[in-house]
Amino acid sequence: MSRINKKQLAAMALITDIFAVFCLRGRLTVLTAAAFVLVILLQTALLPLIERLYAAGGKPAKALLLLWMIFWGGVLFTMQWRTSEVIYIPGESSGGIWGKLMVSGLIGLVCIYISSAGIRAMARASVIAAAVGAVCLLVVTLSAVSGADWENLTVSTGHGSFSGELLRGLCISGGLGSYIALSSISGKKSFRSGTAYLAVRGAITAVLLLVSVLIAGGIMEIAEYPVVMAAQLAQPFPSQRIDSLFLIVFAVYAVFAIGVQSAAADMLLEELFPRFHRFRSLCAVAAMVGAAFAIARFI
């Protein structure tokens, strides 16, 4: 099996994590950022234990992780469907269930192609996609800092409960599962590499949330997707809008986030069922789409 390095593994997991933050719904506050960072710190402390339990769990642990990959892939599909209603992906936003199936099918075909090209090809492309997203985030951050209403930070602190935000942060932490699943093909495990991944994730999450509060804090009551709204409102250049770049980054991250889950599921299926060769990737993607339809009404 092709091997990937730690930086590529981190990029693949981070794209999944950041895409989930893009799709956050409801009010965001400084409390949200603090709770999400605390969740990541707890995961950092528990990561060695989780990895040891997974390594010692054998096939049952892999089967449970496979189910988690399918479930989290379904969650990502659902997030993509809903967020596209405000970003507008032609054919999906106006096509109802058939639009969802069409776009999901196209994403599935890309995921299957990625799987056929090999995990290393996706890992290399993930590094490039992560770099493009970092540039987008940097531009939005500079725009937010230069023209921010700093009162938004203090006004927004009185809403929501810390325990509720902790649970919210835990619910969008599915990228950690793909990190653990794919770490088996990334060479020797080390606490340092896992800590570095989670530290970067915590920093990016905090910046995204705080920037969203700075830009969209004044209209948070009517912003169903605050991070998307912040990207749409950011205007760092006099003649261009950053939301065009965000639309590209969002589409790329949607494909890569789901692609990472399908690649992890494909790898786990191969380990659990060595004789299952044909249509393995197709089955993984189909299971995720089915899970998305099953859980869409509940999340």
Domain 6-295 belongs to what topology?
Amino acid/polyamine transporter I (1.20.1740)
- Helix, strand and coil in the chain, % to nearest 5: 80, 0, 20
CA neighbor of 23 nearest in space, from 193, 208, 190: 208
Instruction: Report d(CA 220, CA 228) in Å as an integer.
Output: 12
Res. 67 pLDDT band, cuts 50 70 90:
very high
Q: What pTM value is reported for the model?
A: 0.86
Widest CA span in the chain = 60
Using DSSP's 3-state secondary structure scheme, residue 222 falls into coil
Res. 157 pLDDT band, cuts 50 70 90:
low
Question: From residue 271, how far is each of 9, 38, 62, 207, 276 by CA, in Å?
Answer: 19, 34, 8, 38, 9
CA neighbor of 9 nearest in space, from 128, 142, 127: 127
CB-based burial of residue 94 (10 Å sphere; 0-12 exposed, 13-18 middle, 19+ buried)? exposed
pLDDT tens by residue, 169-197: 988 888 888 888 888 776 656 667 788 89
Residue 92: predicted pLDDT: 47
Instruction: Report d(CA 217, CA 213) in Å as an integer.
Output: 4
Residues making up the chain, counted from first to last: 299
Instruction: Report d(CA 295, CA 141) in Å as an integer.
Output: 34
pLDDT tens by residue, 234-275: 766 555 555 677 788 888 888 888 888 888 888 888 888 888
CB-based burial of residue 140 (10 Å sphere; 0-12 exposed, 13-18 middle, 19+ buried)? buried
Residue 29: predicted pLDDT: 86
Using DSSP's 3-state secondary structure scheme, residue 275 falls into coil
pLDDT tens by residue, 193-229: 788 899 999 999 999 998 888 887 777 777 788 888 8
Q: Which residue has the higher pLDDT, 23 or 297?
A: 23
Looking at the predicted structure, is the pLDDT value of residue 93 above 50?
A: no
CA dihedral 80, 83, 89, 90 (to 10 degrees): 110
pLDDT, mean of residues 99-121:
69
